[in-house]
Amino acid sequence: MEAIAVLRNVTKTFAKKKVLDNINLQILDGEILALLGPNGSGKTTLLKILASILRPTDGEIHFRGVKVTDQNVEKIRMESTLVFQKTVLFSTTVYDNIAYGLRIRRATKNEIDYKVAQVLKLVRLEGFEKRSAKKLSGGEQQRVALARALALNTRLLLLDEPTANLDPKNARIIEEAIATTNRELKTTIVMATHNMFQAKNLPHRIALMEDGRITEVGTSKEIFGRLSKTLASFAAVENTFAGTAKTSEDGSTLIDVGNGIQIVAAAKNVGEVSVFVNPEDIILSKSHFESSARNMFKGKIVEILDLGSIVRLRVDVGKPFTVQITKRSFNEMGLNLNTEVFLAFKASSIQIV
Amino acid sequence: MNLLDCLIASFQLSFSVDPRIIEITLRSLFVSGSAALIATLWGIPIATIIAMKDFHGKFLIKTIFNSLIGIPTVALGFLLFLAFSRESGPLGFLRLLYTPTAVIIGEAILITPIIVSLATTAIEAVDPEIVNLAKTLGASESQASFAVLKEALEGIFLAGIVSFNRAIGELGIAQFVGGFIYGQTELLTTGIWIELQLGNPGTSIALMVILLTMVFTINLVLNAIQRMRGREWKPLLYSET
């Protein structure tokens, strides 16, 4: 495959702090590339540089063979678009939000009408044209932001944590729209994520990022196979733990991830492994309860992140787990910092890499 | 004439079709409206630069504009009188003293700090990512700045209303550089003052009633427009890029 964008020795410094350090990366035409790394690893900065809304301190970017310069940056910017992690919308209707970029490209009214209807169908928001964008739910707003980017049909689509902070339903719709766009329109997609599960399933290639550097690039199989030790160093990637797996007496896999925490998994593995638990697969309770879940741990809430309709909690059970629950459950359970809670998840929900 | 008779007479005069009253009212609207328009034309670009650009001395400039909001109109009027003075003023050659143009310039200077300060605050309150959003959707630097201004439109609109109110209600500048030339520079505020000096309290009250009614009505209409724009008109603003 031909490279659509090439980054050579790209460095970005903010107030003497190096946020990107000598990045060399090729983005292949038609691929989905995931930038996988913990918060603060430089994913967003890299995406903004690829979107030409941020210029590197050093290094070169070539887009379809043309070097990006101050003179041609506005023209090259037309060939890509970025969907931000935090949803940003204009204070107007859904229609006018989506139409903004099309109007800049001087599309006719008929073309705009057609495109708006088409992309709203793709993100399953048919008939939302006249609704005020900012009055939609968080998930719907993020779907409008994605639709607005998809409407432009750019060669390169950049997504910054597209499903972070979303409930599973909205996340699934967005993942399907991303996959459809790549499959049917051959749009090249670069997606930042710290969700191991998403990185494993959606992209063709993965670039691991840590402290402003790209440490590994490879296919999903390569990264999640051979490079499990590199993955294990990603302590900040949520719910990912390195440990030693052994087969227990009942035939299931027992993984010791340290600090006295043993996770039961259904998949058969032995030796050094990395495990990942999806935050949405974890059930949270204030008291011990009987269930079929093979994993249950007692811990304390150490961090609360209010994301509108959902709340993300960090629970320390000896190892930090991220749990995602609805705002309603959060309120009804009367949870607070340092509240003692129980976490439960099934052995079959463990991803072993 | 007792107070009640005076009030009745003044109300009758307020709602009569006295050509002089109509002329004073229209002149006041023209002078203050022009001042608000001029201050907006130069104030919004200044506010945009202050809010969106980082430069040395930014804090100092913001502080100066904020401080100038409260400048006494008498002080500014006197300074402008000295500047426009035909015999010794540095701008005397323009021969603007005691003309409506001088009042327009003076009021525009008076309300510029209000426009700049309020509009700067409104623009700074817009999500900083709006610029990047507009750019990533294909906007040029100027189109991206325009997108920010659209988001700050409610605050800018408020700045315009406050400025107009300040202009139409001020007396010091109108007195010093407009004077009281009958049929030429008489305004509602100066009219209220001069008629009282001439022993016509009824006319003063009538002009005051007109001034208050006008300010109230204009604010009511502008606020109603703003509400309608929020509900229905706003999309129209996005139909231009």
Q: What is the DSSP pairing of strand A156-160 with strand A80-83?
A: parallel
| Residue B91, pLDDT above cutoff 60 | yes
Tens digit of pLDDT for each residue in A38-79? 888 999 999 999 999 999 999 999 999 999 999 999 999 999
> Mean pLDDT throughout B83-93?
91
* Chain A contact set for B237 (CB, 8 A): 92
| Residue B232, pLDDT above cutoff 60 | no
> Mean pLDDT throughout A119-145?
94
> Which of B133, B236, B239 would best serve as a mutation to test chain A binding (most A beta carbons within 10 A)?
B133
Read off φ and ψ for residue A265, nearest 5 degrees. Answer: -125, 155
pLDDT (0 to 100) of residue B236: 39
Name the nearest CA neighbour of A33 among A150, A158, A151, A214.
A158
**Dihedral-angle region of residue A277 (phi above 0 means left; psi in -120 to 50 means alpha; beta otherwise):** beta
| CATH numbers and ranges of domains, chain B | 3-237 (1.10.3720.10)
Q: Quick check: A96 contacting B, CB < 8 Å?
A: yes
Report whether B197 contacts B145 (CB < 8 A): no
| Residue B155, pLDDT above cutoff 80 | yes
Q: State the maximum Cα–Cα separation within chain A, in Å, rounded to a whole number.
A: 69
Tens digit of pLDDT for each residue in B19-31? 888 899 999 999 9
pLDDT band of residue A251 (cuts 50, 70, 90) is confident
Q: Which carries the bigger pLDDT value, residue A304 or residue B105?
A: B105
Report the CATH fold assignment for A3-224: Rossmann fold (3.40.50)
Q: Quick check: B231 contacting A, CB < 8 Å?
A: no
The answer to whether the Cβ–Cβ distance between B136 and A96 falls below 8 Å is no
pLDDT band of residue B1 (cuts 50, 70, 90) is low
Nearest CB to A77 within list B133, B135, B235? B135
> Which of A91, A106, A116, A148 would best serve as a mutation to test chain B binding (most B beta carbons within 10 A)?
A91
Instruction: Classify residue B174 by its DSSP letter.
Output: I
The answer to whether the Cβ–Cβ distance between B133 and A88 falls below 8 Å is yes
Q: Cα(A350)–Cα(A223) distance, rounded to whole angstroms?
A: 18
pLDDT band of residue A309 (cuts 50, 70, 90) is confident
pLDDT (0 to 100) of residue B233: 40
CATH 2.40.50.100 fits A278-347, yes or no: yes
The DSSP bridge partners found for residue A275 are A241, A352
Task: Please count the residues of chain B.
Answer: 241
The answer to whether the Cβ–Cβ distance between A92 and B237 falls below 8 Å is yes
The answer to whether the Cβ–Cβ distance between B238 and A53 falls below 8 Å is no
> Mean pLDDT throughout A295-304?
92
Tens digit of pLDDT for each residue in B113-138? 999 999 999 999 999 999 999 999 99
> Mean pLDDT throughout A73-100?
95
> Mean pLDDT throughout B13-41?
89
The answer to whether the Cβ–Cβ distance between A96 and B130 falls below 8 Å is no
The answer to whether the Cβ–Cβ distance between B143 and A51 falls below 8 Å is no
Rounded (10°) angle between helices B129-136 and B141-151:
130
| Residue B109, pLDDT above cutoff 90 | yes
| Least-confidence region, from A191-205, A327-341, B188-202, B213-227 | A191-205
Q: How far is B46 from chain A (nearest CA, A)?
A: 23
Q: Cα(A210)–Cα(B139) distance, rounded to whole angstroms?
A: 32
Q: What is the pTM of this model?
A: 0.74
CA-nearest residue to B147 within chain A is A90
pLDDT (0 to 100) of residue B239: 40
pLDDT (0 to 100) of residue B230: 57
> Mean pLDDT throughout B59-83?
95
Report whether B168 contacts B32 (CB < 8 A): yes
Tens digit of pLDDT for each residue in A206-250? 998 988 999 889 887 777 665 455 555 554 467 888 888 888 888
Q: Quick check: B235 contacting A, CB < 8 Å?
A: yes
pLDDT (0 to 100) of residue B160: 92
> Mean pLDDT throughout A289-317?
86
ipTM: 0.74
CA atoms within 13 A on the CB side of A341: 26
Q: Quick check: A166 contacting B, CB < 8 Å?
A: no
Task: Please count the residues of chain A.
Answer: 353
> Mean pLDDT throughout A197-204?
76
Q: How far is B241 from chain A (nearest CA, A)?
A: 6
Instruction: Classify residue A93 by its DSSP letter.
Output: B
pLDDT (0 to 100) of residue A268: 82
In sequence order, the 6+-apart residues with CB closer than 8 A to the CB of A166 are: A138, A139, A142, A174, A310
> Mean pLDDT throughout A89-104?
96
Report the percentage of chain A scoring pLDDT > 70: 94
Q: Where are the domains of chain A?
A: 3-224, 278-347
CA-nearest residue to B131 within chain A is A53
What is the pLDDT of chain A when averaged over all its residues?
A: 88
The DSSP bridge partners found for residue A316 are A300, A320
